[in-house]
Amino acid sequence: MMMATTHVLEADAQHDFARMARALPPSDPLRSGLVGIALDEGRHAAYLREALVRKMSRASSAQAQIEMFKERKAQAVFKVVLEGLLGGSQVVPPRLSKPAAVEEQVSIAA
């Protein structure tokens, strides 16, 4: 579904631009521009998520779509990187495990 994939790309772009902004000194004029772009990307991601939830009429269904495309994107990146490292060999990307629920993460950290 186009909205889910685009949401993932927009959300990732938000984090990428924010990361680039943090790499610059606070006095650098480019920093505020990158922060502005990050905020825009975040709004785009939020809009797409909201549209997806409305279309699917359930937040849990929309979130499942988003998680599926996050996993596909990560697998595609793994595949490209591994093939690059292995000189063009065909590789099968690893299956990603689902992240632990927040409650599990908290109990693991405690």
- Interface residues toward Fe ion, by CB under 5 A: 10, 41, 44
For residues 7 and 48, is the Cβ–Cβ distance under 8 A?
yes
- Token readout for 75 is 């697998």
- Token readout for 43 is 């709004």
The residue (of 41 and 70) whose beta carbon lies closer to Fe ion is 41
CB 94 to Fe ion: min, Å: 29
CB 13 to Fe ion: min, Å: 6
Residue with smallest beta-carbon separation from Fe ion: 44
The residue (of 20 and 82) whose beta carbon lies closer to Fe ion is 20
For residues 52 and 66, is the Cβ–Cβ distance under 8 A?
yes
DSSP 8-class letter at 101: P
The residue (of 15 and 100) whose beta carbon lies closer to Fe ion is 15
Q: How far apart, in whole angstroms, are the C-alpha atoms of residue 84 and residue 75?
A: 14
CB 65 to Fe ion: min, Å: 19
